[in-house]
Amino acid sequence: MTGILHVLFGMKGRITRAQFWGGTLFSWFIIVLIVAASELLKSDDVLGAEGSVALIGVAALWIAFIWMSICVRAKRYHDRNKSGWFQLISLIPVIGFPWMMIELGFFEGTPGGNEYGPSPKGTPNVSEVFV
């Protein structure tokens, strides 16, 4: 997988902060679609089989949102040389989610390669590694 598919759906490798924010904003766009679809389902116009199909569509969007979020965060934690399981920190009430978003969105990744793959920025200069 390469490009946007790797960023949104792959669990292996590393991504940059810019790719993290792009993937996060795209997954939040999916939430907007879910809310819009849910509002349509609440109207009296949706009846019978069409309502069932719409519910399946909303469920599929939720699954896509959850999977994309997990993949993007895991690869960003990989860039920080941590396991993707670190995203469970977001379950800590009040501080977990902000902590995770700040760490993933604003802190630099590991320079050079690490156990999760080569740097997504390319090969750093020797001076960048030892500074």
Supply the pTM of this predicted model: 0.80
Higher confidence at residue 127 or residue 36? 36
Please classify residue 16 by burial: count the beta carbons closer than 10 Å to its beta carbon, then call 0-12 exposed, 13-18 middle and 19+ buried: middle
**Residue (of 79, 106, 101) closest to 12 by Cα position:** 79
Q: Which amino acid is at 27?
A: S
More confident residue, 130 or 93: 93
Confidence of residue 100 (pLDDT cuts 50, 70, 90): very high
Q: Which domain holds residue 12?
A: 3-115
pLDDT at res. 54: 72
In a domain, 35, yes or no: yes
Residue 128 in this model has a pLDDT that exceeds 50: no
Answer yes or no: is 129 within a domain.
no
Asked if residue 127 is part of any domain, the answer here is: no
Q: How many domains does the chain have?
A: 1
- CA 82 to chain centroid, in Å, comes to 15
| Residue 130 maps to a domain | no
Q: Please indicate, yes or no, if residue 124 is contained in any of the structural domains.
A: no
pLDDT at site 34: 84
Q: What is the pLDDT at residue 45?
A: 58
* Percent share of the chain, pLDDT over 90: 50
Q: What is the pLDDT of residues 23-58, one digit of tens each?
A: 999 989 988 888 887 777 766 555 565 667 777 878
45 part of a folded domain: yes
| Within a domain: 120 | no
Contact 23, 72 (CB under 8 A): yes
Half-sphere exposure of 14 (CA within 13 A, CB side): 24
Q: Is residue 66 assigned to a domain?
A: yes
How far is residue 90 from each of residues 41, 76, 94, 99, 103, measured CA to CA in Å? Answer: 30, 14, 9, 7, 11
